[in-house]
Structure 1
């Protein structure tokens, strides 16, 4: 018993590890598909179809969907299933406000904890971001732009903050996919570079001001006005109905 019990326990650990790895792999593939706009907001995510695609049970898919739902990337509706989230304009504004608040503290910690190695990683990230813009690869740009902020959070060294920011960045990417207006410009890359330069110079106030201005500029590039008001069916159809009534009377 003393020999078989540890063996059974070890097998359980290995099985759990494989399951976790499988779930993480499916999660990452689905998250990338959503953030790279291959799965548009509002798309229904069928458990049966996804299970067939990934060669796993519905239980595994359901676990992944619940994880994405916890991060507000997917919405699960009772008796209807799971759908790629469609953030409202109000949600978009709240997410951007939250980012402005927490990334100020992130900048302060990044200035204290920076090293030549992670500054080099940040600059390479911006270079990759700029290349995606030059190629017109919108999906890659959305992902890389978010990655820059997550890398900066990693430099700050606060794991709790990094986990929270990861959710906000993922939601921001989804918001950009849904509400981005106009064409992309290299301005965001220039702003990222300026933030890095201010961090290297340990100019805290300037770096914070740059980050706040950058996030505000990102929000200004979103079309958050047109969807604020719901369509009024009465006002849309009132005139035709009235005219139709007159025509029937005339007849």
Structure 2
């Protein structure tokens, strides 16, 4: 049977689309692109030096993971979660992540603990530099790593999607910036996981997520606008 070869031009387009999607995703998670921001295909294409076809593919991939909303006859926008969704996302995290932390405590290896500690160190560095968007992204990655350590691929996929939505929700409804700085919760979690104390890890994760949830001001509001070019500037 002859193997079907993929044209080089298609591979290049896919790579370019993935690169644009990754840059947009990073800007969204680091809050350089606010919820509700219009993502014009022509402007993005000009910024990255790619065609509208490539941009369209990147936006479609982000829409698939609900970071972007594509509205008929209006174009693409950074997703803007509703108040109801904000509550549901954090309630879902409070159900899933504590049990995942318990499982992680039973399965963590020394190298896993070191990786979690590096995440915390990077998060501290971002906070010290007042780069709260990057600190938030690193915090989300910390939670995703715990799900990975638990070795529950399906649940980890759910948690990763919930954390992506959480970033947008926090961009809209955050009211207590100090909660972002309460990284002692992550330290305590790592200590419990390293000690293999599943019950303690579960309790700490639940308390941490409840605290994040209560730091939200769940009232209607619009995130501040920002130039697309400025937001995507390297």
TM-score in terms of structure 2 length: 0.86
Q: Pick closer, same or farther for the CA change 1:200–1:13 going to 2, 3 Å.
A: farther
Counterpart for residue 73 of structure 2: 79
Contact 2:31 2:171 in 1 (8 A): yes
1:205 and 2:199 are equivalent in the alignment = yes
- Deviation per residue, 1:4-35 (Å, 9 max, x gap): x65xx34x165554433322211110011111
SS in 2 for 1:40: coil
Contact 1:47 1:58 in 2 (8 A): yes
Counterpart for residue 22 of structure 1: 16
1:192 and 2:186 are equivalent in the alignment = yes
How far 1:186 moved relative to its partner? 6.4
Contact 2:116 2:190 in 1 (8 A): yes
Counterpart for residue 227 of structure 1: 220
Counterpart for residue 39 of structure 2: 45
1:98 and 2:54 are equivalent in the alignment = no
How far 1:79 moved relative to its partner? 0.8
Rounded Cα–Cα distance in structure 2 between residues aligned with 1:32 and 1:195? 26
Equivalent pairs counted in the alignment come to 221
Rounded Cα–Cα distance in structure 2 between residues aligned with 1:151 and 1:16? 33
How far 1:69 moved relative to its partner? 1.5
Rounded Cα–Cα distance in structure 2 between residues aligned with 1:142 and 1:211? 16
Rounded Cα–Cα distance in structure 1 between residues aligned with 2:44 and 2:191? 44
The two structures, once aligned, show a CA RMSD in angstroms of 2.0
1:68 and 2:62 are equivalent in the alignment = yes
Select which of 125, 135, 140 maps to 2:134. 140
Counterpart for residue 232 of structure 2: none
Rounded Cα–Cα distance in structure 1 between residues aligned with 2:197 and 2:70? 44
TM-score in terms of structure 1 length: 0.81
**Which runs of 5 or more structure 2 residues have no equivalent in the other structure?**
222-234
Select which of 148, 166, 170 maps to 1:172. 166
Rounded Cα–Cα distance in structure 2 between residues aligned with 1:38 and 1:113? 36
Rounded Cα–Cα distance in structure 1 between residues aligned with 2:177 and 2:28? 20
How far 1:154 moved relative to its partner? 1.5
**Which runs of 5 or more structure 1 residues have no equivalent in the other structure?**
229-251
SS in 2 for 1:76: strand
